[in-house]
Structure 1
Amino acid sequence: MERRDIEIFLALAEELHFGRTAERLGVSGARVSQTIKQLERRFGVALFQRSSRYVALTSVGSTLRDDVQAGYQRIQEGIAKAVAAGRGFAGVLRVGFSSPLVGEAVMAAAAVFRTHHPECEVRIREVHLSDAFGALRAGELDLQITEFPVDEPDLATGPELLRDERMLAVSAKHPFARKAHVTVEDLARDTVLVPADAPAYLLDALVPPQTPTGRPVQRTHALTSRQELLTLVSAGAGMAIVGSQATRHHSRPDIAYIPVADLPPLAYGPVWPVAGRTARVREFTDLLRAAPGRGPQRRSPRSAAPDR
C-alpha cells in the first residue's frame, strides 16, 4: 500500500463517510472511492460495507485497520523526528542567564519550548559574573540572555528583550540608605563595586566612569558572584548598581536599594556565537520576545529606602 492509500483507508475507517474523508484529506470524493475500490480489488475482499445511507468496516477491514494503524503511527513518528532533526530541534539546547529576572523569563520560555519540541532537551544554567562569555566561547552554551550592550566580534546579538530600572545597593548603615533617590553625581562619593573581568565597554554602560560634572567614579573590580556582591555591600565595602529585581530576589535587612534617578534601565538580550544561530536558538529567542510582560519592569514597592 502506498502512503496516500493508507491515509485514505485509515481516514475513511475513522470517519465512515466518503464526503468527510475527502474534505479532511483535501481530495475529491471520487479519489477516496477509487482508492478503496483499488485496494479491495488488490486484496480480493471487501473492506467496507456501504450503501446510500451508511458506511461500515467489514471484519477484514477492521483487522486491516488495527494492523496498519500501529505501523503507520510509528512511520509518522519517525518522519516527524527526522524532520525535527533536519530543522535543528532534536538534541539539546543550552541556555545561560545572567540575573534572576532573566532566569524567570528563560524558565517560562523553556516550558513552552519543551511542549513544542519534546525531542529537544533544554538545559539552563546561570552565567558567572567573573566570566561573562566564557561558557559561550567554550561551547558549553548555545544561547545566553545577558546584559547589553555586547560588542564582541565572535558573538552575535538579537533584539533587546527585557529592561529593569537601576538601583543603587548600599549598606543599611550607609548615608545614602535614607535617601528617596540618588543621581549619577552621587556615585563619585563612594567606591562602586563592579564585576571583576567585565569588558570596559560594558562597565562604562553599567557604571559611568565619571559624573555629568566630570568627577571620576571610583570603580573597584571586585565582584565574581552575586553572593559576593551582597556580602561586600552589606559590610560597607562599597556600593553597587543593580536592577530593581534585587528588591524582590535579594531583599535583606542589612542592604538598602535606592532608585538612581538619571540612569536608563538595564537592558538584557540574547547572545550566541556568530556561526551558532540554529533553528533552536531562533525559536527560543522568538518565545522570549513573545513572552507576556516583556519590556520595562515596574519598580517594586520595596525599592524605596526603608523607614528607620
Structure 2
Amino acid sequence: MDIDTRLLRYFAAVAEEGHLTRAAERLFISQPALTKQIKQLETQFGVELFTRSRTGMALTEAGRVLAERIPVVLEDWDLALRETRSASSRASHVLRVGFVASAANENTQEIIGSFARRRPGWRVDMRQTDWSDPTAGLADGQVDVALLRLPFPGQDTLRVEVLITEPRWVGIPTAHPLAELAEIPFRQLWDEPFVATPTESGWWRDYWLATQEREGHPVKIGAIASNPDEWLTAIANGYGVSLTPEATARFYQRPGVTYRLVTGVSPSQVGVAWAPAGDSDPVVGDFVRACLAGHRTSTTAEPDIGTPMGEASAD
C-alpha cells in the first residue's frame, strides 16, 4: 500500500493539536480540506484513527500506534529527499538559494560575490517563490539555504541568523490623503483596508497585517496578493494599503503607489536560514559566512556551521 507523505503530515498535525481547526491553521489549509484528507488516510488504512467529538479529536488505539511511528518515518523521508536533491546540485557545483521578493536587499550581489570567492567554480541558483511559501522552498528541501523576511512559519525548526533590521513603511495609493504626510502613525491606518498575502502563508500574513499591534482593532482586507506585481497593482488601484519593508520603497516603484515611514509598529528583519542538516555542509557554511560578512559585530560569535572558513574553499 502506497501512502502520500502529505497525508501523514496532516495526520501528525491533528494528532499533536488534538483539534481540527488548530491543525488546519498550523498547516495553512481549510478545515474541510483537512477533514477530507484525514478521512482519505483512514480509508487507505481501513481503520479509524480518531474519535471525533465537539471538544476535539482523540486518537484511537490504532491512531496512537501510528502517531508513535510517524515522526521517525517523516524525518527519514525528509532527510532522504533533502540529500537526494542536494546531491544533484552538488554534482553540478550549484547552491540553491531561495528568496521571497527582494531577498537581502542591495546586499544580495555582495553576498554572492563573497561566496564565489570562498567557492571558486560554484554557482548560486537564486529561486524566488511567491508569498504563499514564506520559507522560499526551504521547508520542503527545494533549496539548500534561503534569504528570508523574519519572522516566518516554521522558523523555530530551522537555523536562522539575522542580517538586516529596518523600519516598516506603508505602500499607499498616491491619491490617498495620508500620502501627504512624511510619516504615518500606525494607528491612523487601522481603519484602512489592507492588501494581504494568501491565507496559506499562515501567521506570516498576520505579521504583515500587524494584527498583534492593533490593540484588538479588527483588520479590513481589501485585496489578496501573491507576489509584488499583484500587490503593487492592488495598492495603485486603491483597493488597500500595506505594511512593507523599507527596502520596498527602493526596489518597487510604481506609478500610483507612494511609500511612507510608519511609526508605532515593530521593525522588519532579513535573515539567512538553513536546515539543521546543513550544519555539517561546508558549502552551506560558506554561504552563511558570506551573508554574515560585514553584518556581524566583532562582539558576536560566528555560528558553528560547516567547515571553518578557509579550510575547504573548493571541492
Residues 293 and 158 of structure 1: is their aligned pair in 2 closer, same or farther, counting only changes over 3 Å?
closer
Larger displacement relative to structure 2 (239-248 or 130-139) = 130-139
CA offset digits 1:167-188 (Å, max 9, x no partner): 1111111121112222221232
- Listed as ranges, the matches of 1:175-194 within 5 Å are 175-194=177-196
Q: Does 2:115 align with 1:118?
A: no
Tell me which stretches of 4 or more aligned residues in structure 1 moved more than 6 Å.
Answer: none
Shift of 1:276: 3.1
Conservation of the 8 A alpha-carbon contact between 2:163 and 2:295: no
Conservation of the 8 A alpha-carbon contact between 2:100 and 2:130: yes
Residue in 2 aligned with 1:237?
239
Cα distance in structure 2, aligned partners of 1:210 and 1:134: 24
Larger displacement relative to structure 2 (115-124 or 239-248) = 115-124
Task: Extract unaligned runs of 5+ from structure 2.
Answer: 1-86, 298-315
Task: Extract unaligned runs of 5+ from structure 1.
Answer: 1-84, 295-308
Shift of 1:97: 2.1
Residues 153 and 236 of structure 1: is their aligned pair in 2 closer, same or farther, counting only changes over 3 Å?
closer
Q: Does 2:283 align with 1:280?
A: yes
Conservation of the 8 A alpha-carbon contact between 1:130 and 1:195: yes
Larger displacement relative to structure 2 (166-175 or 220-229) = 220-229
CA offset digits 1:42-91 (Å, max 9, x no partner): xxxxxxxxxxxxxxxxxxxxxxxxxxxxxxxxxxxxxxxxxxx9xx8982
Shift of 1:107: 2.2
Cα distance in structure 2, aligned partners of 1:162 and 1:141: 21
Residue in 2 aligned with 1:223?
225
Cα distance in structure 2, aligned partners of 1:164 and 1:219: 25
Conservation of the 8 A alpha-carbon contact between 1:101 and 1:245: no
SS in 1 for 2:184: coil
Cα distance in structure 2, aligned partners of 1:223 and 1:114: 35
Residues 293 and 137 of structure 1: is their aligned pair in 2 closer, same or farther, counting only changes over 3 Å?
closer
- TM-score normalised by length of structure 2: 0.59
CA offset digits 1:257-278 (Å, max 9, x no partner): 1111111221111222332332
Conservation of the 8 A alpha-carbon contact between 2:128 and 2:136: no
Cα distance in structure 2, aligned partners of 1:213 and 1:136: 33
Residue in 2 aligned with 1:289?
292
Residue in 2 aligned with 1:174?
176
- Listed as ranges, the matches of 1:261-276 within 5 Å are 261-276=263-278
Cα distance in structure 2, aligned partners of 1:131 and 1:219: 20
Aligned residues: 208
**What fraction of aligned residue pairs are identical, expressed as a percent?**
24
Task: Give the counterpart letter for 1:112 in structure 2.
Answer: S
Conservation of the 8 A alpha-carbon contact between 1:95 and 1:125: yes
Conservation of the 8 A alpha-carbon contact between 2:193 and 2:220: yes
Residues 179 and 95 of structure 1: is their aligned pair in 2 closer, same or farther, counting only changes over 3 Å?
same
SS in 2 for 1:159: strand
Shift of 1:242: 1.0
Residue in 2 aligned with 1:202?
204
Aligned CA-pair RMSD:
2.8
Conservation of the 8 A alpha-carbon contact between 1:169 and 1:257: yes
Cα distance in structure 2, aligned partners of 1:235 and 1:275: 45
Residue in 2 aligned with 1:132?
134
Shift of 1:251: 2.2
Residues 179 and 153 of structure 1: is their aligned pair in 2 closer, same or farther, counting only changes over 3 Å?
closer
Residues 200 and 259 of structure 1: is their aligned pair in 2 closer, same or farther, counting only changes over 3 Å?
same
Task: Give the counterpart letter for 2:241 in structure 1.
Answer: M
SS in 1 for 2:190: helix
Conservation of the 8 A alpha-carbon contact between 2:147 and 2:273: yes
Residues 201 and 130 of structure 1: is their aligned pair in 2 closer, same or farther, counting only changes over 3 Å?
closer
Cα distance in structure 1, aligned partners of 2:213 and 2:134: 26
Conservation of the 8 A alpha-carbon contact between 2:167 and 2:245: yes
CA offset digits 1:88-107 (Å, max 9, x no partner): 89822111222326153232
